[in-house]
């Protein structure tokens, strides 16, 4: 089983209860996301702000004039529904088409370009093309169409609303000309008031005319009835005188029943007409009294006259800039989320644990060279002072494997280790002297280039150096736990992920702390590390393994840190890397290096395309797996880890390399 080791005593976040874990993790992930996608968010903000500025420059400013009307209502106290109905009715009248038509005619707005109907650029172009090819008919603007366009624009610019629960109605009108806006609004208010007064006057005239006509009718009916009764009495008297002359001595009681009936009918009609007239007068006076007391009567007058607006109401600069900024941030967040969803790489140490269930022992930031030797641009956690480094306490030993036993010369005396020779001769002993002997030429010094590994010495307080201190602490933690962790292989999933830089920088840091360290280049397929540190090396590890050269003759040394480096060499013979790495000679070489050095850092080839890591796994104590941040696919990483699981059980952890500064 793959064993993982954590370098600190912090509690695993996944083992915490949700109520203690989720808020912190969510906040950390959100902060990491913002830092990681800050460039995208800022870019989208700049774009939206640019669009907003272009809009502010191109947009035509509009001015809004304001006026207030007061509705004097004599409704029943406490009748809120009646008051609301009256005020809303007034608002509807103000926004009615009749008011709009009256104002448009009075101010001749139909000919104003602001109110005349014009098609947009696209629509106008389409109509022009359709007329040219004969699909459209020539358009002639009639008076009704011109008025229709003016009404549509007028109604869109005019607004009226009630101010709270008061009797005040606020009216506004928008126009590109501030003087025109105030003039139109005052005309609207004046037209509304005049229309209300005219409507009341006409209504009063109609009521008065109806009352007069009704009274005249009832009066005429009463007069006719009274006249009919008088005429009947007169006719009856004439008839009676004639009868007296013809029949003297006949009494009045002997009149016919018919004449008496007619008299009663006439008298009843006259009395009914008189009562109807009196009742109408009483009802008319009662209605007038009730209207004065209870019926709502309203009058509108102008409270605040519209004046010329001093500032443009639109576009509102603050609102446009604020909306564009917020929109840019939200758009940047959306784009960042989409990129995260489409990106299958690993960016943070938390994602390493979440996706792979293996501890991320360090996050190495990306460093860039400025073209000057020894000076690199790094992210500092403090002042980048050049601090004195503690040199190794022991001199680097000299090792020889050519034609005989391996002899290691230490400060206290030579140490001989027997190893079968590679050419079949009988083993012999060869005692090598101190590093000052002639077996180790002083000219084989590691070359300092613009490689990022020298940030360890040039910027000891940088975040780059701190990350390799974390790797060393993880290695030392495994040593304290009793596990053998002396020969450490550095590998990655794919080439060009920076594993050689990680191996060299780690070895250099360990050497600066006083440990005896040797860096071994076992990447037989890509000799970039040897080309950088020992470009003139004539011999290397292949020559040592074949017996063509001794370790002392092939080892290069850094004069400051005493770091030893065993390059590949310039052997041009065709080799099979996996066969070389599985040979017993490599295992014996590493066993020899264990005796001479405290740490043996081995730079291996990548796991995915080659089988070299599986071939050399038996000679190693543990692995460090390097992943390039935001580049290597998670599925490919998992396949590479499966390869290591099959060959070795000890892994120090994963190093996330080339991380951006905001992801460290």
Which of helix, strand or coil describes residue 323? helix
Instruction: Kindly give the pairing relationship between strand 517-521 and strand 413-417.
Output: unpaired
Distance between CA atoms of residues 330 and 52, nearest Å: 15
Is the model's pLDDT at 605 over the cut of 60? yes
Give the best-scoring range by mean pLDDT among 232-236, 452-456, 586-590.
452-456
How confident is the model at residue 524, as a pLDDT? 82
| Geometric angle at alpha carbon 329, from 323 and 335, rounded to 5° | 130
Query: Over the stretch 141-152, which tens digit does the pLDDT of each residue have?
Result: 567 788 888 899
| Geometric angle at alpha carbon 660, from 659 and 664, rounded to 5° | 70
Query: Over the stretch 372-392, which tens digit does the pLDDT of each residue have?
Result: 333 333 333 333 333 333 333
How confident is the model at residue 662, as a pLDDT? 57
What integer best gives the mean pLDDT of the chain?
75
Cβ count near 214 (within 10 Å): 13
Q: Among positive and negative, which fits the CA dihedral 323, 326, 332, 338? A: negative
For residue 586, name the pLDDT band (cuts at 50, 70, 90): confident
Give the best-scoring range by mean pLDDT among 83-87, 178-182, 549-553.
178-182
Stretch 75-101: mean pLDDT: 81
CB 558 within 8 A of CB 457: no
Which of 164-178, 252-266, 505-519 shows the lowest per-residue confidence on average (mean pLDDT)? 252-266
Is the model's pLDDT at 550 over the cut of 50? yes
For residue 258, name the pLDDT band (cuts at 50, 70, 90): low
How confident is the model at residue 655, as a pLDDT? 93
Is the model's pLDDT at 416 over the cut of 50? no
How confident is the model at residue 393, as a pLDDT? 33
How confident is the model at residue 581, as a pLDDT? 67
How confident is the model at residue 384, as a pLDDT? 34
Higher per-residue pLDDT: 253 or 526: 526
How confident is the model at residue 441, as a pLDDT? 42
- DSSP letter at 226 equals H
Is the model's pLDDT at 138 over the cut of 60? no
The residues with which 302 forms a beta bridge, in sequence order, are: 69
Q: What's this model's pTM, rounded to 2 decimal places?
A: 0.54
CB 405 within 8 A of CB 418: yes
For residue 567, name the pLDDT band (cuts at 50, 70, 90): very high
CA-based radius of gyration for the chain: 54
For residue 572, name the pLDDT band (cuts at 50, 70, 90): low
Q: Among positive and negative, which fits the CA dihedral 547, 553, 556, 557? A: positive
How confident is the model at residue 77, as a pLDDT? 55
Percent of the chain with pLDDT over 70: 71
Stretch 513-521: mean pLDDT: 93
Cβ count near 368 (within 10 Å): 10
Is the model's pLDDT at 3 over the cut of 60? no
How confident is the model at residue 616, as a pLDDT? 81
Higher per-residue pLDDT: 570 or 12: 570
How confident is the model at residue 30, as a pLDDT? 83
Host H or E run for residue 473: helix 463-480
Among residues 474, 475, 450, 452, the alpha carbon closest in space to that of 465 is found at 452
Is the model's pLDDT at 620 over the cut of 70? yes
Percent of the chain with pLDDT over 90: 23
Stretch 520-540: mean pLDDT: 87
Query: Over the stretch 162-212, which tens digit does the pLDDT of each residue have?
Result: 998 888 899 999 999 999 999 999 999 888 888 877 877 777 777 777 777
Distance between CA atoms of residues 522 and 601, nearest Å: 10
CB 487 within 8 A of CB 604: no
Which of 206-215, 478-487, 533-542 shows the lowest per-residue confidence on average (mean pLDDT)? 206-215
Which of 346-350, 641-645, 658-662 shows the lowest per-residue confidence on average (mean pLDDT)? 658-662
Which of 288-302, 526-540, 619-633 shows the lowest per-residue confidence on average (mean pLDDT)? 288-302
Higher per-residue pLDDT: 298 or 489: 489
Cα distances (Å, whole numbers) of residue 286 to 200, 216, 217, 282:
21, 19, 20, 6
- Work out the angle between the directed axes of helices 634-647 and 349-356 (0-180°, nearest 10): 60
Domain boundaries, the chain: 63-242+256-304, 349-382+445-663
| Geometric angle at alpha carbon 340, from 24 and 626, rounded to 5° | 85
Is the model's pLDDT at 15 over the cut of 80? no
CB 365 within 8 A of CB 468: no
Higher per-residue pLDDT: 440 or 157: 157
Host H or E run for residue 345: none
Query: Over the stretch 316-337, which tens digit does the pLDDT of each residue have?
Result: 899 999 999 999 999 999 998 8
Distance between CA atoms of residues 661 and 664, nearest Å: 5
Higher per-residue pLDDT: 503 or 647: 503
Residues 6+ apart with CB under 8 A from 283: none
Higher per-residue pLDDT: 626 or 7: 626
Query: Over the stretch 33-84, which tens digit does the pLDDT of each residue have?
Result: 888 789 999 999 999 999 999 999 998 899 999 999 888 766 555 567 777 8
How confident is the model at residue 379, as a pLDDT? 34
Is the model's pLDDT at 130 over the cut of 70? no
Q: Write the class of the CATH domain 349-382+445-663.
A: alpha beta
For residue 415, name the pLDDT band (cuts at 50, 70, 90): very low
Which of helix, strand or coil describes residue 498? coil
Distance between CA atoms of residues 532 and 449, nearest Å: 7
For residue 430, name the pLDDT band (cuts at 50, 70, 90): very low
φ and ψ of 373, to 5 deg: -60, 130
Percentage helix, strand, coil, to 5, in the chain? 50, 15, 35
Which of 290-299, 302-311, 338-347 shows the lowest per-residue confidence on average (mean pLDDT)? 290-299
């Amino acid at each position: 089983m793959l064993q993982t080791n954590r370098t600190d005593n912090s509690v695993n976040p996944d083992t915490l209860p949700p109520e203690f874990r989720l808020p912190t993790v969510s906040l950390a992930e959100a902060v990491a996301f913002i830092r990681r996608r800050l460039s995208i968010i800022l870019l989208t903000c700049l774009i939206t702000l640019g669009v907003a500025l272009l809009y502010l420059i191109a947009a035509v400013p509009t001015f809004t004039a304001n006026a207030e009307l007061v509705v004097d209502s004599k409704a029943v106290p406490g009748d809120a529904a009646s008051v609301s109905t009256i005020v809303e009715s007034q608002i509807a009248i103000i926004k009615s088409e009749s008011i709009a038509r009256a104002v448009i005619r009075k101010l001749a707005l139909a000919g104003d370009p602001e109110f005349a109907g014009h098609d947009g650029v696209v629509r106008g172009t389409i109509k022009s093309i359709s007329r040219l090819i004969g699909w459209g008919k020539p358009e002639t603007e009639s008076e009704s169409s011109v008025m229709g366009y003016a009404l549509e624009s007028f109604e869109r610019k005019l607004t009226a609303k009630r101010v709270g629960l008061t009797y005040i109605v606020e009216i506004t009108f928008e126009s590109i000309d501030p003087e025109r806006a105030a003039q139109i609004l005052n005309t609207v208010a004046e037209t509304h008031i005049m229309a209300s007064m005219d409507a009341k006057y006409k209504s009063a005239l109609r009521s008065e005319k109806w009352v007069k006509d009704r009274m005249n009718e009832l009066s005429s009916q009463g007069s006719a009835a009274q006249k009919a009764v008088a005429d009947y009495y007169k006719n009856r008297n004439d008839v009676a005188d004639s009868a007296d002359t013809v029949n003297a001595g006949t009494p009045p009681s002997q009149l016919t029943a018919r004449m008496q009936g007619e008299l009663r009918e006439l008298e009843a009609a006259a009395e009914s007409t008189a009562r109807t007239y009196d009742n109408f007068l009483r009802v008319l006076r009662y209605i007038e009294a009730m209207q004065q007391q209870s019926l709502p009567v309203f009058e509108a007058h102008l409270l605040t006259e519209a004046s010329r607006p001093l500032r443009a109401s639109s576009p509102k600069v603050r609102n446009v800039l604020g909306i564009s900024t917020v929109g840019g941030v939200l758009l940047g967040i959306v784009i960042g989320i989409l990129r995260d969803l489409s990106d299958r790489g690993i960016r943070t140490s938390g994602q390493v644990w979440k996706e792979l269930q293996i501890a991320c022992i360090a996050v190495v930031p990306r460093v860039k060279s400025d073209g000057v030797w020894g000076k690199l641009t790094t992210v500092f956690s403090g002042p980048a002072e050049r601090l004195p480094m503690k040199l190794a306490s022991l001199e680097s030993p000299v090792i020889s494997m050519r034609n005989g036993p391996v002899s290691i010369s230490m400060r206290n005396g030579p140490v001989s280790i027997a190893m079968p020779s590679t050419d079949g001769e009988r083993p012999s002993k060869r005692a090598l002297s101190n590093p000052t002997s002639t077996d180790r030429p002083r000219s084989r010094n590691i070359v300092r280039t613009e490689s990022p590994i020298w940030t360890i010495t040039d910027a000891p307080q940088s975040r780059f150096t701190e990350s390799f201190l974390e790797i060393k602490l993880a290695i030392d933690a495994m040593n304290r736990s009793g596990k053998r962790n002396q020969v450490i292989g550095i590998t990655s999933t794919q080439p060009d992920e920076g594993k050689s830089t990680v191996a060299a920088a780690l070895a250099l840091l360990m050497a600066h702390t006083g440990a005896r360290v040797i860096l071994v280049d076992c990447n037989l397929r890509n000799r970039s590390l040897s080309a950088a540190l020992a470009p003139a090396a004539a011999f290397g590890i292949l020559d040592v393994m074949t017996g063509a050269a001794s370790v002392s003759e092939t080892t290069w040394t850094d004069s400051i840190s005493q770091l030893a480096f065993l390059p590949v060499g310039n052997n041009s013979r065709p080799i099979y890397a996996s066969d070389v790495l599985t040979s017993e000679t490599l295992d014996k070489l590493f066993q020899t290096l264990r005796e001479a050095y405290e740490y043996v850092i081995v730079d291996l080839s990548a796991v995915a395309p080659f089988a070299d890591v599986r071939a050399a796994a038996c000679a190693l104590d543990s692995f460090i797996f390097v992943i390039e941040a935001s580049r290597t696919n998670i599925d490919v990483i998992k396949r590479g880890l499966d390869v290591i699981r099959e060959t070795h059980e000890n892994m120090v952890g994963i190093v996330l390399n080339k991380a951006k500064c905001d992801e460290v």
